[in-house]
Amino acid sequence: MNHDAKLPQIKADDSSPLEDKQAMLAAIIASTDDTIVSKTLEGIITSWNPAAERMFGYTEAEAVGQHISLIIPHDRLDEETFIIRQVKKGEKVDHFKTIRRKKNGDLIPISLTVSPIRNNSGKIIGASKIARDISEQEEAYEKQAMLAAIVATSDDAIVSKTIKGIITSWNPAAERLFGYSEKEAIGKHISLIIPPDRLGEEDMIISNITKGKKIDHFETMRMTKDGRQIPISLTISPILSPTGEIIGASKVARDISDKKAASEKQAVLAAIVGTSDDTILSKTLDGIITSWNKAAERMFGYTEEEAIGQHISLIIPPDRLEEETYIISEVRKGNKIDHFQTLRLAKDGKLIPISLSVSPVLDNSGKIVGASKIARDISAEQATQHEITKLYEQLKELNAKKDEFIGLASHELKTPLTSINGYLQIVAQRMTDEKNKIFLQKAQQQVVKLSSLVNDLLDVSKIQAGKLRFAIHQFNIRDVVEDAIELISQSNNNYEIILKTSVSNLVIMGDAHRIEQVIINLLTNAIRYSPGKDRIEVYLIQETNEIKVGVKDFGIGISPEKLGDIFSRFYRVDDTNANVSGLGIGLYLCHEIITRHKGRVWAESEPKKGSTFWFVLPCLADL
Ligand code: ADP
């Protein structure tokens, strides 16, 4: 389109000043970049300049005579009513931001200024509209609003300052990090947050910024309102004016306290691993070694450089490679392996017995990415263990030899004893001298005692060899109890042994001789361990399916902590019975005999008051 062609011709001569002015206005309207349109109070377009043609796409011919709604979106038709009302009142509408529609249907943001048009008599007859395209302006505004929102919501402290160091903006994260509100910070010098001993940094920063240089991830300390120093990472960029001049600096500060703490913690851990006496190494899930401490170097002989990057099979004996598959499968499941004893191979080919603990290594997101292994050399432990096992075997062997010796010795003792006993009986028959008879009787009593000891020893070795036999018959328990009492009473006439029972005849199953041996043993003990006393009580009680026998003395008693041991082989309560000789096998035999009869034996006792030994036997046991 040829604008000039449309320009009204300005006449050089015979024109009135009014005409001249009008012509000039028409020329301006035609050539302006602003859209200028006029319309009647009814909204009929009466003029339409070339800029309006460019903005809306309608030619002058298409627009003039049309209603203004031609370019008003439907949902904004009300605006026209409002504008016309203002115009009718003779008022101007200034910089009214709205949207209009082009011929091709596109919407366009504009800023509208509408003025009333008056005729010569001053009556309002229409409106002139000047519209300006504000698309770019709108875009810039939107961009700025977005940037402002980003700055406001950023987790990083963002601060800007003039080249002289005066703070000009301060976002909420800066408030949180440094403790000063926006109001407190803006207008202040940046030294507000710089520790005194770091003020020199600011000069360095400014000198960089004035040269147009950006400073990236500068780690330093800044000071909060409450005087704390916090480690931060700073990124500083120059701020340029529209003409490219450096007018200030923007600072983005990130709190790196956590990062610092984490790296300090890591340093401590690294030091621990480095100095540990335990071998510590880590590997990926594919078995590639990723770390190797000094102790690992010492144990396996490979240096860190030699080991890292190698497969863990470097130190696994070929016949144990499947262990690795098992370990990795456990680690993948998130399981830990504790004290797994195995063998590993050193660089020099030596096999080292180790105890291995393996744990999964997790990354930040909790995913299992590898395994850490702690290995301890257990050669020494194994040697000790080996030594202990050897000693234990030796001890068992010696013990067996001792049992064998006791068996042999008692057997060997028994034969001459039987002979002595026999000869003494012959001598007794022939002895006429009454005085010597007494000595002979004493000798015979000692032989009986000795025989009983030897018999007990023989029984013990039989028990050990599993050869103690029983002759099971029915017998009357009362008879057996009475026989035992009578036997003991004969040789201990300074003791009164009282049987307390309501049982007359009670037949039970068992080996009567062995049961009598038990009662004799308990009675003998009752006398031996109640020196100075003169009374023993014996109980025979019938209970449901059981008989219960008790032997009660009023002697030295047994302390509670020893009660559990007295039925053990060779056990003697040494502190209380220093004067009483014995081998510590009587109660062991009693226990063996009673339990083999499916019964129970136990003692109740109070030191210095006396003891009661009880046993129960089933009446009709299937023995
Ligand atoms: P010994 O009497 O030959 O030492 P025993 O096996 O018969 O062996 O008894 C084991 C230990 O139990 C005794 O050494 C003694 O200390 C303790 N003991 C046994 N009977 C009594 C009792 N009636 N009163 C106190 N202590 C007893």
Residue 305: which CATH number? 3.30.450.20
- The answer as to whether 430 is a domain residue is yes
Same domain, residue pair 249 and 287: no
Percent of the chain past pLDDT 90, that is, above it, reads 60
Same domain, residue pair 355 and 491: no
* Residue ranges of the chain whose pLDDT lies below 50: 1-12
206-264 per-position pLDDT tens digit: 888 888 888 888 999 999 999 999 999 998 888 887 778 888 888 888 888 887 788 77
Which ligand 1 atom is nearest residue 572's CA?
14
Same domain, residue pair 357 and 391: no
> Closest Cα to atom 16, ligand 1: which residue?
573
Which ligand 1 atom is nearest residue 582's CA?
3
- The answer as to whether 243 is a domain residue is yes
Same domain, residue pair 158 and 56: no
- The answer as to whether 308 is a domain residue is yes
Ligand 1 centroid to residue 490 C-alpha, Å: 22
- Beta-carbon neighbour count of residue 378 at 10 Å? 18
- The answer as to whether 80 is a domain residue is yes
Ligand 1 centroid to residue 335 C-alpha, Å: 55
In eight-state DSSP terms, residue 362 is: E
pLDDT of residue 566: 94
Strands (E), 87-203: 93-101, 107-118, 124-133, 157-162, 167-170
> Closest Cα to atom 4, ligand 1: which residue?
584
- The answer as to whether 361 is a domain residue is yes
pLDDT of residue 623: 67
Among 230, 255, 280, give the residue marking a domain's end: 255
pTM to 2 decimals?
Answer: 0.49
> Closest Cα to atom 1, ligand 1: which residue?
584
Angle between helices 477-491 and 512-528 (to 10 degrees): 40
- The answer as to whether 443 is a domain residue is yes
> Closest Cα to atom 3, ligand 1: which residue?
582
The ligand 1 site (C-beta within 6 Å) comprises 525-526, 529, 553, 555-558, 566, 571-573, 577, 582-588, 611
Same domain, residue pair 538 and 555: yes
Residues in a beta bridge with 510: 473
Same domain, residue pair 578 and 487: yes
Give CA–CA dist 521/62, Å, rounded.
140
Count the helix, strand and coil residues of the chain and give each as a percent rounded to the nearest 5. Answer: 45, 30, 25
* CA angle at 177 for the pair 172 and 179, rounded to the nearest 5°: 85
pLDDT of residue 248: 84
* Structural domains in the chain (count): 5
Same domain, residue pair 529 and 393: no
Q: Which residues, in sequence order, are CB contacts of 263 under 8 Å at separation 6+?
A: none
Residue to mutate, 454, 492, 519, 525, ligand 1, most ligand atoms under 8 Å from C-beta = 525
Same domain, residue pair 476 and 603: yes
Longest dimension (CA), the chain: 199
Ligand 1 centroid to residue 582 C-alpha, Å: 8
Among 255, 280, 303, give the residue marking a domain's end: 255
Ligand 1 centroid to residue 446 C-alpha, Å: 21
Ligand 1 centroid to residue 619 C-alpha, Å: 28
Which ligand 1 atom is nearest residue 557's CA?
25
Among 428, 457, 486, give the residue marking a domain's end: 457
Count how many Cα atoms sit within 13 Å of the Cα of residue 369 in the half-sphere of its side chain. 7
pLDDT of residue 22: 78
- The answer as to whether 307 is a domain residue is yes
Structural tokens at position 78: 């009300």
Same domain, residue pair 84 and 208: no
pLDDT of residue 8: 44
Ligand 1 centroid to residue 229 C-alpha, Å: 79
Which range marks the domain in which residue 414 is found? Answer: 383-457
Listing DSSP states for 138-152 in one string gives HHHHHHHHHHHHHHH
- The answer as to whether 502 is a domain residue is yes
Ligand 1 centroid to residue 507 C-alpha, Å: 30
Same domain, residue pair 167 and 247: yes
> Closest Cα to atom 7, ligand 1: which residue?
586
pLDDT of residue 2: 42
**CATH code of residue 532:** 3.30.565.10
Same domain, residue pair 588 and 493: yes
Ligand 1 centroid to residue 567 C-alpha, Å: 9
Same domain, residue pair 448 and 388: yes
Virtual torsion, Cα 350, 355, 361, 366, nearest 10 deg: 160
